[in-house]
Structure 1
Amino acid sequence: MRRVPLFAVALAALALSAVHWLGLLVGGIAVGLLARTWPRALAGGAAFGLLAWVAFLVVLWNVARLGAYWQSGQLLYVSLGTPIVLGTLGALSHAFRPASLGAPSTTGERRA
């Protein structure tokens, strides 16, 4: 049930991240809010960042600059780490989920 909104939000955030780096953070936030558990939220945020990096590789391949990118050294590592870290950081928003999305109860009661 959550796959369609997750796909739509990830696609929109990926388009936003093509324009500005804050799109990576927005994508992580969206994935974190839609995840059911902490581990899924963090893994989803990291996966979103990895997806954004792969999309960047496709753009580089399209303009025939991928070979130079592989030899760029530190630029390669920073450009790989940045989307993964920002996606995971955004996924920490899982802690701020509203109760309507299935957030755990603060009173200790179990929900059906």
Structure 2
Amino acid sequence: MSESPRERLFAAQTTPGQRRALTVAAVVAGLALASVHWAGLLVGGALVGLCRPTLRRAIVAGLGFGVVVIAVAAAQLSLAGTLDESLAMGSILLVGVVVPLVAGPLGASVRGLLPDASLDGE
């Protein structure tokens, strides 16, 4: 018989190579969605969080996703030549920094809906 989706997810979460590949794919998908709509930050955080075997690791991965989003946004502003002007905006800049740092872990908290995968191999 074939494995259930939950069993396949748990197998991927506990296999380091598969977990890395899934995380890279989740980050790319999340960045693509976040470039279209702010809710992509939540979805990206959820996707990255589902790649992790425990809720604690999922929240940290969601925070990492938020940091990647900020780095990509800064790189885009730098390439456009508007990074200096953007940094000079003051407190409004904080919204653009705080939102990814909150939305990533918030989306990753969806990992709490599933039981932790067993980490016997690690």
Instruction: Report the equivalent of 1:83.
Output: 100
- Give the total of aligned pairs: 103
The amino acid that maps onto 1:43 is V
Shift of 1:111: 9.1
* Rounded Cα–Cα distance in structure 1 between residues aligned with 2:119 and 2:24: 27
Unmatched tracts of structure 1, length 5 or more = 98-102
* 2:67 equivalent to 1:50: yes
Query: Once superposed, what is the RMSD of the aligned Cα atoms?
Result: 1.8
Q: Provide the TM-score with structure 2 as the length reference.
A: 0.77
Give the whole-Å Cα distance in 1 for the aligned partners of 2:92 and 2:63: 19
Unaligned runs of 5+ in 2: 1-17
The percent identity for this pair of structures is 35
Separation in 2, partners of 1:104, 1:50 = 25
Q: Please state how far the C-alpha of 1:76 moved relative to its aligned partner.
A: 1.5
Q: Residue type matched to 1:78 in 2?
A: V
TM-score (norm 1): 0.84
Query: Is the CA contact (8 Å cut-off) linking 2:42 and 2:107 kept in structure 1?
Result: yes
Amino acid at match of 2:105: T
Are 2:19 and 1:2 equivalent residues in the alignment? yes
Cα deviation, residue 13, structure 1 = 1.0
CA distance 1:19–1:75, change in 2 (3 Å): same
**Cα shift at 1:38:** 2.1
* TM-aligned CA deviation for residue 39 of structure 1: 1.9
User: Are the structure 2 counterparts of residues 69 and 37 from structure 1 closer, same or farther at C-alpha, using a change threshold of 3 Å?
Assistant: same
